[in-house]
Amino acid sequence: MGVEFIYFDFHGLGVMPRMVMAAGGIEFTDNRFSMAQWGELKKTMPLGQVPLLKTDGLDINQSNAIINWAVRNGDLPKLSCEEASKSDMVVETCREVFNGVRLPAFGAMMAIAEDKKEERAAAFRDTAKAKLTEQLPKIETILKHVGAGKESINAEKLCLGDLYLLNIGLLAYDLGLCDSVPAAAMSINKATPDKNDRVAAFFIKEKDTKYFPF
């Protein structure tokens, strides 16, 4: 039986599992659904949440658990202990930045009545923009600290940290903040898709996918 990934038809918490599976050469059925379909689907989910990855032996909830599964089962280049730690530091920093954007943005949106859809969307995006601007210097600092190269964290070896930087690039693009992304992160963002056919194919396939539903 093949692997099936279940998530909304936008990036959100689904983009990293999808990107890591694509970069690692894992074939999967990308089962996407709309917000309108979620009510019924939620009842069938083990934690009432998505993303979910259905594998042969186990249904895996929690996006980071799915990403870890994808790294273990894909064929990203093997890293030395030092290279892996550099990647891990960038991964954790990008997660911190991402959570520092999405959690306050959802909070700002939830503070507005449900029927005020446009106001809710504006509150989400305005807060997300402000928070990303505030958080981006952390990326520059960690890239300097690990001595990242111009095109990847570890020379010639695509790693999870590089893929997380691409995710921050996608987020910044969606929020109209590309110019604020530290130069080092943007050069990785630009270079990696050209140098890796799978990542390039992923970006082409996803070119019309929105980051958030708002």
Ligand X SMILES: N[C@@H](CCC(=O)N[C@@H](CS)C(=O)NCC(=O)O)C(=O)O
Catalog residues that contact ligand X under the rule CB under 6 A: 12-13, 42, 48-51, 62-63
Nearer to ligand X, 202 or 211 (CB): 211
CB of 144 to ligand X, least distance (A): 28
CB of 195 to ligand X, least distance (A): 29
Residues contacting residue 55 through CB under 8 Å, at least 6 positions apart: 3, 69
Please tell me the distance from the alpha carbon of residue 92 to that of residue 161, in angstroms, as a whole number. 8
Give the nearer residue to ligand X in terms of CB position, either 49 or 85. Answer: 49
Identify which of residues 17 and 182 has a Cβ nearer to ligand X in the complex.
Answer: 17
Smallest separation, CB 70 to ligand X (Å): 13
CB of 194 to ligand X, least distance (A): 30
**Three-state DSSP state, 150:** coil
Nearer CB in complex with ligand X: 13/22: 13
Q: Torsions phi, psi of 14, nearest 5?
A: -95, -20
Contact criterion met (CB below 8 Å) for 29 and 5: yes
**Strand ranges of the sheet holding 28-33, from the earlier edge strand across to the other edge:** 28-33, 3-8, 52-54, 59-61
Q: Which two tokens stand for residue 43?
A: 């009842």
**Residue 87: DSSP 8-state:** H
DSSP class per residue in 36-72: HHHHHHHTTSTTS-S-EEE-SS-EEESHHHHHHHHHH
CB of 124 to ligand X, least distance (A): 13
Pick 106 or 157: Cβ nearer ligand X: 106
